Amino acid sequence: MMPFGFSAPLAAWLALLALPLVAFYFLKLKRPRVEVPSLVLWQQVLNDSRVNSPFQRFKRNLLLWLQLLLLLLLVVAAMQPYLRSRRGRRMQLPILIDCSASMGAREKAGGPTRLDLARRRAAERIEGMLRGERICLVAFSRRARRITDFTDNKRELLAALDRITVEEVASDLEDALNMAQALGRATPVEEVLLLSDGNLPAHSAVELPFALTFERMDAAGPNAGITSLRAVRAANNQWRVFVGIDASESYRGPATLEAMLNDESLVREVVAPTFDNPERVIFTVAGDAPSRIQVRLSVDGVDAMASDNMATVDLPALRPANVYVDEGLAACRRVVSLMEDVELWPGPQGERTPGDVYDAIVSGTVADEEALQAPVRLGVGYLPTALTGTVTRLEGADRVVDWRRDDSLLQHVALGNVVLSAGTRYSGTDGIAACEALGFDVMVHGAQGPLLVRQQSEQASRYTLLVDIEQTTLPYRVALPVMLANLVNLSLEGEGLAKADGVGLLSPEETRLVAVDRIEFAEVAVSAADGPVRGTRPLWPVVLMAALILLLIEWWFFHRMHALKHREKLA
């Protein structure tokens, strides 16, 4: 295949204009009869007559050759020549442009962002479009969105390109590739261009049905930023605040972290995070009133991104957790009464909260479960009405076979050494499937049936221990206080009183500006290009410029000839 081609080869017919141009030089000139005083001028007349006589041997004329060359250049420019790319010409080209937070990084203060560089490269591809080619722009961060349909309208594409802005979130490349696959179902797509800074996962499960060209932007400058801000409820009615500061691999130098409590300086500390050793700052805040903590990072020297230098967390006023525990569950009441920042109900005189509304309930009967209100509930020693006929209680020793360690109620709970003198069994052959069909998830499995189930709804999480706690060794194991502490924390989290996360945070990967140079897909691996990968390059502007220069030369030569002739006549 030739390294170049023509978008409008039929324009070559314009070369026939050379025929009248050449014929013009063969026409005879009809000169008027003039008497001259000397025969010396006859030689010049004979020469002019011979040149303008048809079918004479053509005399060398530089001006004619310049005009023929000018016509040739104009014809070639009209044919719209282009230089082929390595991959050839693509008729449909989706361009995926990364606009995640790290694309807002700069190499130096006031310099272009990575997104600016990506837009420039996309603009080069758009300007270099040939006849019949169409481009579709897709911007992606956490979600991919199509900016334009496939079009050859350069003005529309460039205007849409200018509308793409940085979003302060991480990127999801798979969502963008899935959109490119969807585009390929409607129109043939052989190649997709990816413009990113390389802050992407190194592995992806996506199968590529097209060729992917990965152009990575140049690395940004050093950067440090706040990547985590969390407040956790502590003892003595306080919040413990944790701040994490990460840095890129090229970052060198200290920074100053300042925490403001309701616009007043609370903590000011010098930190020196590195790529391998992030900094952590911990301080406490009183929780007797609502407060807002604003954390700022001031970086000495160049900082590639400013968007990760500030974060905010709003803290509500702390209060004791209102926990109702059935008076018949002595072991549970004893454990809850020893917890800090917990108010146990019913009170010593049988007092209850207004409306019987609590943060958590530990009930021993179905009646308590229906009469009391709480977002988190734990029933002990009975079967929920909905499970009647599906699960049956049995007398006889049982044991714990397995439990859901990832559930919020059972985190850090060890049940392997709990002994049970009574258990349960499934009434039918469907077993777990029958429970799930009724809306119950089995959290703790016994030898023959479920021991603890959960019923989840938008209003509440309902856990039920299906065996009598007094028929187990659970009151004598550490598992009981850990489980009840998890229950209280679960209720406080629902009210926003256990922990609070900051807003305005980027992921550590975004702040650290980690860039991959190779992405492993399901079947192939794509490496980042060393520089911009050129597409088909139009050559007609170059040819047209050469024609303009030649026109100036021809104009100069024509006037020079006339000037010389004029001097000869004067002489």
At residue 566 the predicted structure's pLDDT band, cuts being 50, 70 and 90, is low
- Residues 385 and 453: their CA atoms lie apart, in Å, by 13
Mean pLDDT computed over every residue of the chain: 86
| Architecture in CATH of 92-220 | 3-Layer(aba) Sandwich (3.40)
Tell me the pLDDT tens digit for each residue of 470-494: 999 999 999 999 999 999 999 999 8
Boundaries of every domain in the chain: 4-84+540-570, 92-220, 224-318+501-511, 321-496
Average pLDDT value for residue range 390-414? 92
Q: Which amino acid is at 109?
A: A
Tell me the pLDDT tens digit for each residue of 439-479: 999 999 999 899 999 999 888 899 999 999 999 999 999 99
| Secondary structure (DSSP) of 348-410 | TT----GGGB-SEEEESSHHHHHHSB-SEEEEESS--GGGBTTEEEEEEEEEEEEE-TTSGGG
Average pLDDT value for residue range 347-364? 89
Half-sphere exposure of 231 toward its Cβ, with a 13 Å CA cutoff? 30
**Can you read off the two tokens belonging to residue 75?**
């014809």
Tell me the pLDDT tens digit for each residue of 502-516: 998 998 999 999 999
**Can you read off the two tokens belonging to residue 213?**
């060209």
pLDDT score of 88: 47
Tell me the pLDDT tens digit for each residue of 522-539: 888 999 886 665 555 666
| Architecture in CATH of 321-496 | 3-Layer(aba) Sandwich (3.40)
Query: Do β-strands 360-363 and 321-325 pair in parallel, antiparallel, or remain unpaired?
Result: parallel
pLDDT score of 233: 93
Q: Which of 42-46, 69-73, 274-278 has the lowest mean pLDDT?
A: 42-46
Tokens 């160049």 locate to 302
At residue 55 the predicted structure's pLDDT band, cuts being 50, 70 and 90, is very low
Average pLDDT value for residue range 4-14? 65
Q: Per-residue pLDDT for 31 more than 70? A: no
| Architecture in CATH of 224-318+501-511 | Sandwich (2.60)
- Residues 356 and 400: their CA atoms lie apart, in Å, by 34
pLDDT score of 323: 95
Tell me the pLDDT tens digit for each residue of 308-322: 999 999 999 999 999
- Residues 31 and 26: their CA atoms lie apart, in Å, by 15
Longest dimension (CA), the chain: 148
- Residues 364 and 329: their CA atoms lie apart, in Å, by 7
Contact, 439 vs 455, CB < 8 A?
yes
Cis peptide bond N-terminal to 346, omega within 30:
yes
Same fold, 92-220 and 321-496: yes
- Residues 121 and 106: their CA atoms lie apart, in Å, by 16
Tell me the pLDDT tens digit for each residue of 158-204: 999 999 999 999 999 999 999 999 998 888 888 999 999 999 999 99
Higher pLDDT, 109 or 508: 508
- Residues 99 and 137: their CA atoms lie apart, in Å, by 12
Cβ burial 363-381 (10 Å sphere, 16+ → b, else e): bbeeebbeebebbbbbbbb
